[in-house]
Every structure is written in C-alpha cells, then in structure tokens.
C-alpha cells in the first residue's frame, strides 16, 4: 500500500509491512499539522483488521518496518527534503529491510514518448511543488546521503518511465 490520501483528503498513509511475508499488519501515518483527525483504519475489505493509521511527519519519523514503500512522493521535494525523508526511513527500517521507491526515472535519452511523459512531469513538479524528476545517478546519490544503497531496479512499468527502485541499508 502506498502513501495515499483518504477519501476525506486528509490521511497520509505509511505502510509498515508490505507485502506481509510473516507479519500481516500495515500501519499508516498522517501529519498532525493542519489535518483533521485521521481515520482509525484504512478500511476496505481485508484491510481493516491489519492496517492502522499513525499520525506523523515523514520528515521527522516514520513507523518501523522491514519493507517500506514510498510512491510518487520523492518527486514532490528538493534533495534536502528527500534526504530528510529517506533518513527517517533509514532510522526506522530493519537492518535487512528494503525500501521500495516508485518514481519515474529520467532516461538518458529524451527522444521517446515515455521520456516525454517524464519531462512533462519534471516541469509540473518544478512548477507546482518545487520538486523534480530524477535520473538513476541522482537517486543513487539521494540513497547514499541517507544511508541506503541501490540494490535493484525494475524495468520501466508499462509504457512509462516509472520504475521500482529497491534500496537496502548501506
Ligand atoms: C503526491 S502524493 C502521493 C500519494 C500516493 N502515494 C500516490 O502515489 O498516489 C504525496 C503524499 O505525501 C503526503 N505527505 C506530504 N507531506 C507529508 C508529510 N510531511 N508527512 C507525511 N505525509 C506527507 C501527502 O499527504 C500525499 O498523500
């Protein structure tokens, strides 16, 4: 389960264990500032008994976990904020844990339709959030600055430049 926004538009969800190989519990967090009270469970069939929501600011801390998924979040932020977020993950992740980052990865060649999508997103992130899309080297540098190393990366997911970057504690 990725970070997600609830139907009420207030929850920031953080998965504590995904997928659940041994444990079967996930937890979510929501920043307290400016938010209404978060829902107490993620709801949905099969989720309510193994998913909880915790208030929090991911720049400060995230719940402990052995697998963490950050989807569509890093491109919202500049390098300094991304490093703070990833350091929160590093402090809370198990020694043999894995951090999964799902983001577009800027290709080295920009001459394809898929690359055009990433370029448009890069501009949108710059304009709307002050963030950016990043290439592989930039992701490696971010991970390194936060105490992770890139362990694996998937091919682009169906017709996009989105990939899953798998990082482990360095
Ligand atoms: C671009 S959305 C991505 C949502 C979802 N993962 C997706 O891919 O659709 C970024 C998410 O980060 C959450 N967020 C922003 N600042 C946060 C903070 N300081 N602490 C925790 N969550 C935060 C937002 O509420 C939002 O759910």
- Which residues does a 6 A CB cutoff place in the pocket of ligand 1? 2-5, 12, 31, 57-59, 71-73, 76
The best mutation among 6, 12, 36 to test binding of ligand 1, ranked by most ligand atoms within 8 Å of the C-beta, falls on 12
- Which domains occur in the chain, in start order? 1-57 (no CATH), 64-169 (3.40.50.150)
Residues 127-163: tens digit of each pLDDT? 999 999 999 999 999 999 999 999 999 999 988 899 9
Q: For 35-98, give the DSSP string.
A: PPPPPSS--STTTTTTEEEEE--TTT----EEEEEEES-GGGS-HHHHHHHHHHHHHHEEEEEE
Higher pLDDT, residue 37 or 13: 37
Higher pLDDT, residue 84 or 5: 84
């Amino acid at each position: 389960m990725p970070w997600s926004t609830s139907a009420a538009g207030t929850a920031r969800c953080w998965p504590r264990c995904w997928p659940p190989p041994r444990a079967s519990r996930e937890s979510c967090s929501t920043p307290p500032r400016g938010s209404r009270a978060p829902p107490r469970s993620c709801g949905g069939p099969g989720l309510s008994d193994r998913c909880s929501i915790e208030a929090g600011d991911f720049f400060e801390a995230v719940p402990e976990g052995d697998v963490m998924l950050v989807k569509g979040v890093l491109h919202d932020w500049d390098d300094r904020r991304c490093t703070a977020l990833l350091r929160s993950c590093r402090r809370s992740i198990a020694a043999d844990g894995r951090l999964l980052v799902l983001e577009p990865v800027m290709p080295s060649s920009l001459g394809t339709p898929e690359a055009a999508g990433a370029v448009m997103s890069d501009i949108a992130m710059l304009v709307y959030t002050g963030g950016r899309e990043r290439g592989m080297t930039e992701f490696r540098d971010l991970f390194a600055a936060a105490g992770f190393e890139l362990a694996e990366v998937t091919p682009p997911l169906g017709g996009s430049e989105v990939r899953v970057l798998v990082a482990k504690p360095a």
